[in-house]
Structure 1
């Protein structure tokens, strides 16, 4: 490789291209993400130290009374060690990994994507971005269906920073109450925390939010959430039964 070719590759001219091809973009929290990373060599041979997939989303942060979006990494997966890609050569690297249970559901304005990064010495790393459609766990989806059955209407779903999760975020759902609950509280707020064993939903009613997020998100960070219900992995299968449990819980604890 000539000195001029090295310089061109180092500034991203004629270097390798990367294209991650996800086999199924619709995936549940905790579900399997599979696909191939396709690397196409550029004008010169290049050494790639590693191929990494970074699952990311954005969170709303508030500073000095100003709100803005900030990208946040949920998990990082190394799919290949060092390899060499020749000029115009094509290599395919298959991958498979379990999506974090903390990846937010892609509802409202929430988005989840995979950034593919080639670690290339002395060069601009080629990158590729692929979006996922993330559904909640079976329990979380059943709870949301039950909430809708009880007459609640989704107001917003917001990703917020939290100290209570490994990824550093929670997804906060806010609902307007239906007719049966309007006299008891003006707003319902839910946060789901799931793992391989099951899903816990934390609940706040009639909160008076100040700044970003409501009392529930603050309470989680202070370990002071007052109301929650837990479902084992396959326990929440009947929407009417979950709706009955939630109705009873909400009315018994309404302020």
Structure 2
């Protein structure tokens, strides 16, 4: 590469472009994400030192009585070591990795995405963002269906920072109670913390939500939670069984 070509690349002129192509944009927590990273050479030969995929979302934070959203990296996966890409050359690098169990359920909203970043000599780092739709683990989906069967209505779901997870994220679901529970409490809060073996469901019943995201996320960070249920993958339960167990737990713990 001539000195003039290097100068052009360093200014971002004619640099390589990176594009991630997913085989499927819908994936379950703990499921497999596959696809390829396509590199298209610019007007000069370049060396890409490495390529990474980053799974990201946004979390709601509160500081000095001000609420705002902040991007948070859930996991980072290396796709490739150093690659030389010639001018106008195209290279496809396949990838496959397991999505973190802590990626939040998107519930139809595009809140989780892949950022593609290449460490490129003499060039502006190319970036590529691809949104994915994340469904819960089998247990989480069954619990959500059981909550629906019990007459609860989803109020909101919020991504919050937490010290209790590897990613630093928990997703808190808030529900309005149905007729059978309305006289006992005004809001139900649920947090799922899943791993390869199963899912723990943390539950809080509020008479009045306080602070950012209610009470449950705060309680977890203080290592406190009045109610939790553990469901193992090796002992699968049906929605009706989970609904029955959840109903018993809630009524046994009303204040």
Alignment of 1:148 with 2:148, yes or no, is: yes
Q: State the 1:243 CA deviation.
A: 0.5
CA spacing shift, 1:200–1:207, aligned 2, 3 Å: farther
CA shift, 1:236, in A, is 4.1
CA RMSD of aligned residues (A): 1.2
Give distance in 2, aligned partners of 1:209 and 1:246.
21
Farther off after superposition, 172-181 or 2-11 = 2-11
User: Could you tell me the TM-score, scaled by structure 2's length?
Assistant: 0.97
User: What runs of 5+ residues in structure 1 fail to find an aligned partner?
Assistant: none
Residue 86 of structure 1, CA deviation? 0.2
Any residues of structure 2 matched to 1:1-255 within 5 Å, and which?
1-107=1-107, 109=109, 111-255=111-255
Q: TM (normalized to structure 1)?
A: 0.97
Q: Distance in 2 between matches of 1:64 and 1:207?
A: 25
Mapped to 2, the partners of 1:73 and 1:222 lie a distance apart of 23
Aligned counterparts of 2:169 and 2:110: Cα–Cα separation in 1: 12
Question: Structure 1 residue runs of 4+, over 4 Å off?
Answer: none
3-state SS of paired residue (1:193)? strand
User: What do the CA deviations read for 1:43-102 (whole angstroms, capped 9, x no partner)?
Assistant: 000000001000000000001111111000000000100010000000010000000000
Alpha-carbon distance, 1:235 to partner: 3.3
Contact preservation (8 Å) 2:193, 2:201: yes
Deviation string for 1:179-228 (max 9, x for gaps)? 11101100000000000000000000015333212211011001111101
Closer/same/farther in 2, CA of residues 39 and 207 from structure 1, 3 Å limit:
farther
Q: How many Å apart are 1:3 and its aligned residue?
A: 2.6
- Preserved contact between residue 205 and residue 254 of structure 1 (Cα < 8 Å): yes
2:153–2:177 CA contact under 8 A, matched in 1: yes
Distance 1:110 1:18 in 2: 22
Q: Distance in 2 between matches of 1:110 and 1:64?
A: 28
When the two structures are aligned, how many residues end up with a matched partner?
Answer: 255
Q: Give how far 1:234 is off.
A: 4.8
- 2:27 and 2:69 map into 1 onto residues whose CA distance is 24
CA contact (8 A) 1:108 1:157 kept: no
3-state DSSP of counterpart to 1:49: strand
CA distance in 2, matches of 1:110, 1:229: 29
CA contact (8 A) 2:108 2:133 kept: no
